[in-house]
């Protein structure tokens, strides 16, 4: 059979991250600094277990039968209340549906807004499955380079003025994946004004916002959304459990209705047992204390890895010092390619994700790479950074850098 696939599947490659994770699974001696999972100790297993028991005791059929596409009504209400009270997000003109993890919100937004050939602007580097969710809906993806404060409004203005089919800006404002960078408040305001002026949707993806362990919280795009241009994408993956696949998307009621229809034909509804469980947890657990706890976990792990890098890594390799989230972004000197370093590093027994996999053009060499500090054990972080430092030494020798 000579399969005739849809055009949209072309130019889509499986995420290199998954390939690297597969490699790590097949080679258990390789230390993975490449994944993006929350820390195991951040998952409140006993609380989840207890609530699961309660559901089986009190309402098992509600947790096991078909449910509504929009999501479990109490979880929608609890999520809206929490967003409003804790983050000043959402107005009477907005509404919210439950999604199958944060990834689904990205896919639904692309589905509803992006025609083949439309431009979607992304941060560069950016979350590879975000970029690909845009591309599989036919988007022409344009990346804006970031400095320490994120993307520059001037660069955005230039694209908006020179491209005539810009539909959406996809942005992860807090502790971005993969860079760990945070978009400054001044820039958020300027970027919001630009997008409002040009009628461009801001797809604000905020999986890590609650994982701030340093500095002051910065208002979200959605909290300043007087014009209704922001689609806010959230998830309980980092707060409670990633495996349950429970996220949410908030938008003005009109576009949300289309997002709901798109979801209906994507997967009917999300796992209802864990929707009930999440709602019950939000209403009965000490959520604020839990958030503090996981912020502490991330901070301790981040600081530990920064200390290791400070001590062991060749100082010509630079790296971000994030205020939250799961990731560090390291950069090699001019003339290097982290893909080449990756091969040396895998031989030394340590895996990271080369930066090119987060770029709009993922064939071009890239000096940067991503490290994760929440998944490995402390012991493996120490061993992993040692191996990375050795790999860098060897790679610099190969490249004639000394």
Q: Is 14 in the site for its own copies (CB under 8 A)?
A: yes
- Sites for its own copies among residues 134-163 (CB under 8 A): 136-137
| Smallest separation (angstroms) from its own copies to the CB of 51 | 11
| Smallest separation (angstroms) from its own copies to the CB of 133 | 4
The residue from 11, 12, 284, 347 that contacts its own copies (CB under 8 A) is: 12
203 phi and psi, to 5 degrees?
-95, 100
Q: Is 260 in the site for its own copies (CB under 8 A)?
A: yes
| Smallest separation (angstroms) from its own copies to the CB of 117 | 11
Burial of 397 (0-12, 13-18, 19+ CB in 10 A): exposed
| Smallest separation (angstroms) from its own copies to the CB of 267 | 4
Q: Is 120 in the site for its own copies (CB under 8 A)?
A: no
By CB under 8 A, how many residues form the interface with its own copies? 85
For 302-316, b/e burial (b = at least 16 CB within 10 A) is beebbebbeeebeee
Q: Is 113 in the site for its own copies (CB under 8 A)?
A: yes
- Sites for its own copies among residues 202-231 (CB under 8 A): 227-229
Q: Is 4 in the site for its own copies (CB under 8 A)?
A: yes
* Longest CA pairwise span in the chain (Å): 68
Choose the binding region for its own copies from 149-157, 179-187, 269-277, 299-307 (rule: CB under 8 A): 269-277
Site string for its own copies, 271-310 (x = CB under 8 A): xxxx------------------------------------
Strand pairing partners for 252? 94
368 phi and psi, to 5 degrees?
-100, 165
Single out the residue of 163, 160, 126, 122 nearest to residue 144, CA to CA.
122
62 phi and psi, to 5 degrees?
-60, -30
Choose the binding region for its own copies from 57-65, 202-210, 214-222, 294-302 (rule: CB under 8 A): 57-65
Closer to its own copies by CB, 52 or 283: give it. 52
The tokens describing 47, both together, are 């609380």
- Sites for its own copies among residues 309-368 (CB under 8 A): none
CA distances from 130 to 108, 126, 277 (A): 11, 7, 27
| Smallest separation (angstroms) from its own copies to the CB of 252 | 7
For 57-94, b/e burial (b = at least 16 CB within 10 A) is eeeeeebeeebbbbbbeebbebbbebbeeebebbeeeb
Q: Is 199 in the site for its own copies (CB under 8 A)?
A: yes
- Sites for its own copies among residues 367-396 (CB under 8 A): none
The residue from 37, 223, 339, 368 that contacts its own copies (CB under 8 A) is: 37
The residue from 13, 27, 81, 253 that contacts its own copies (CB under 8 A) is: 13
Asked whether 342 and 354 are in contact (CB, 8 A), the reply is yes
Q: Is 270 in the site for its own copies (CB under 8 A)?
A: yes
Q: Directed axis angle between helix 185-198 and helix 153-162, to 10°?
A: 10
Choose the binding region for its own copies from 2-10, 180-188, 283-291, 313-321 (rule: CB under 8 A): 2-10
The residue from 100, 124, 342, 374 that contacts its own copies (CB under 8 A) is: 100
Single out the residue of 87, 146, 89 nearest to residue 322, CA to CA.
146
**329 DSSP assignment:** E
């Amino acid at each position: 059979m000579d399969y005739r696939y849809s055009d949209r599947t072309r130019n889509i490659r499986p995420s290199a991250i998954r390939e690297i994770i597969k490699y790590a699974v097949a080679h258990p001696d390789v230390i993975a600094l490449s994944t993006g999972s929350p820390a195991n100790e951040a998952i409140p297993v006993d609380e989840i277990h207890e609530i699961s028991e309660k559901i089986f005791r009190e309402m098992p059929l509600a947790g096991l039968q078909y449910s509504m596409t929009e999501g479990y009504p109490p979880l929608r209400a609890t999520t809206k209340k929490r967003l409003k009270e804790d983050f000043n997000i959402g107005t009477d003109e907005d509404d919210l549906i439950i999604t199958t993890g944060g990834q689904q919100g990205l896919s639904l937004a692309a589905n509803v807004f992006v025609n083949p050939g439309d431009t979607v602007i992304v941060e560069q580097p950016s979350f590879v499955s975000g970029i690909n969710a845009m591309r599989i809906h036919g988007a022409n993806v344009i990346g804006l380079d970031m400095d320490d404060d994120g993307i520059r409004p001037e660069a955005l203005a230039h694209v908006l003025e020179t491209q005539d089919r810009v539909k959406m800006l996809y942005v992860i404002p807090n502790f971005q994946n993969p860079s760990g960078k945070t978009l400054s408040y001044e820039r958020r305001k300027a970027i919001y004004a630009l997008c409002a002026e040009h009628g461009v949707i801001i797809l604000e993806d905020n999986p890590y916002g609650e994982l701030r362990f340093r500095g002051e919280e910065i208002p979200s795009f959605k909290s300043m959304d007087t014009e209704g241009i922001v689609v806010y994408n959230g998830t309980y993956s980092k707060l409670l459990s990633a495996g349950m696949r429970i996220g949410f998307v908030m938008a003005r009621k009109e576009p949300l209705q289309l997002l709901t229809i798109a979801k209906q034909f994507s997967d009917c509804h999300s796992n209802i047992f864990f929707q009930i469980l999440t709602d019950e947890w939000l209403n009965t657990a000490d959520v604020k204390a839990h958030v503090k706890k996981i912020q502490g976990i991330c901070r301790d792990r981040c600081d530990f890895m920064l200390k290791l890098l400070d001590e062991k890594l060749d100082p010509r390799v630079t790296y971000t010092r994030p205020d939250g989230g799961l990731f560090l972004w390291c950069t090699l000197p001019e003339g290097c390619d982290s893909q080449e370093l990756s091969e040396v590093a895998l031989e030394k027994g340590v895996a990271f994700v080369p930066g090119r996999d987060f770029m709009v053009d993922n064939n071009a060499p890239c000096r940067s790479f991503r490290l994760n500090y929440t998944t490995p054990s402390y012991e493996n972080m120490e061993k992993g950074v040692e191996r990375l430092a050795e790999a860098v030494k060897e790679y610099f020798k190969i490249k004639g850098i000394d």
